Amino acid sequence: MDARPEVTGFYESRTGSVQYVVADPKIGRCAIIDPVLDYDEKSGATATIEADRILSFVEGKGYRVEWILDTHPHADHFSAADYLKRRTGAPTAIGERVTEVQKLWNGFYNRPDLPADGSQWDRLFADGDRFMVGEIPARVMFSPGHTLASITYVIGDAAFVHDTLFMPDSGTARADFPGGSAAALWRSIQDILALPDRTRIFTGHDYCQGGRDPRWESTVAEQKAGNVHMAQYRTEAEFIAAREARDRTLPMPRLILHALQVNTNAGRLPEPESNGRRYLKIPLDLLDAAWD
């Protein structure tokens, strides 16, 4: 049987994001997955409230951070990977196809001088790559669809599926961002659901369906039996048609244009300008709006 890591989720209510500390408590080593750097778009303020909450937990447990892992360049929150690397010294990692996302968004932001080779991270994972969290084996599954670069981390009996599947009552993730694909998302979900039924599934977001409390853990068996999209749309063609129709009704995430310029740079904020202040750059009329 696969090793069973200790998984602790940290829910960030502003964006509905779930961050994780995945640990081998036997030897006191851990990885941090999809950490959030706080950002308030109304004031432009940034903070490290969430990241410091994670660090406080890790310190309290006496764990050493071995990895800071992102599943993809997020469109709805800033990554705290750079901050956590500076605080812990742990290497950062993401999927190797992030270079394609960098090239795409560097064009959108008109920033030809920003490296698009993934060198901002310490390691770029390919499909099938293996690593360790403590003494617990981990591997990488390429899981595109939501983005070009999305990956799933399978650590022991736990799969961190980012924005492919949500909790069973909430279905699946959108696939209409630049570079997204409902067909690729379908195939990625099939690969995830082919994992052993007992595999624990940890999602990257929860939007508290029907007003319930936040939840982020299920199993492959529960997803196969009860995911409201996968149980209803049994063929690839049915899923693609339904996913694309739903995506056409969804507004863009409110932080997508803010976040991608930070997250394609491994969570690094823009460099201060001559007055010592940092500035984000927002391309106008790049994305379609779902006007009311």
For the stretch 82-118, pLDDT in tens is: 999 999 999 999 999 999 999 999 999 999 999 999 9
Task: Check whether 226 has a pLDDT greater than 70.
Answer: yes
Mean pLDDT of 114-141: 98
What pLDDT score was predicted for residue 129?
Answer: 98
Class of domain 6-263: alpha beta
Task: Check whether 290 has a pLDDT greater than 80.
Answer: no
- Cα 45 → chain centroid: 22
What pLDDT score was predicted for residue 292?
Answer: 64
DSSP state of 68: E
Burial profile 57-73: b = 16 or more Cβ within 10 angstroms, e = fewer: bbeeeebebbbbbbbbb
What pLDDT score was predicted for residue 233?
Answer: 94
Task: Check whether 1 has a pLDDT greater than 70.
Answer: no
What pLDDT score was predicted for residue 2?
Answer: 80
What pLDDT score was predicted for residue 73?
Answer: 97
The edge-to-edge listing of strands for the beta sheet with 217-219 is 130-133, 136-142, 151-155, 158-160, 200-202, 217-219
- Within 13 Å and on the Cβ side, how many CA atoms surround 216? 25
d(Cα 243, Cα 238) in Å, to the nearest integer? Answer: 8
Mean pLDDT of the chain: 96
What pLDDT score was predicted for residue 289?
Answer: 82
pLDDT digits (tens, 9 = 90+) for 155-204: 999 999 999 999 999 999 999 999 999 999 999 999 999 999 999 999 99
Could you state, in order of their start, the residue ranges of all structural domains in the chain? 6-263
Mean pLDDT of 42-59: 98
Kindly give, in sequence order, each residue whose CB lies less than 8 Å from that of residue 212, ignoring residues fewer than 6 positions away.
Answer: none
Q: Which amino acid is at 281?
A: K
Are 169 and 210 spatial neighbours (Cβ–Cβ below 8 Å)?
A: yes
| Residue owning tokens 């049987």 | 1
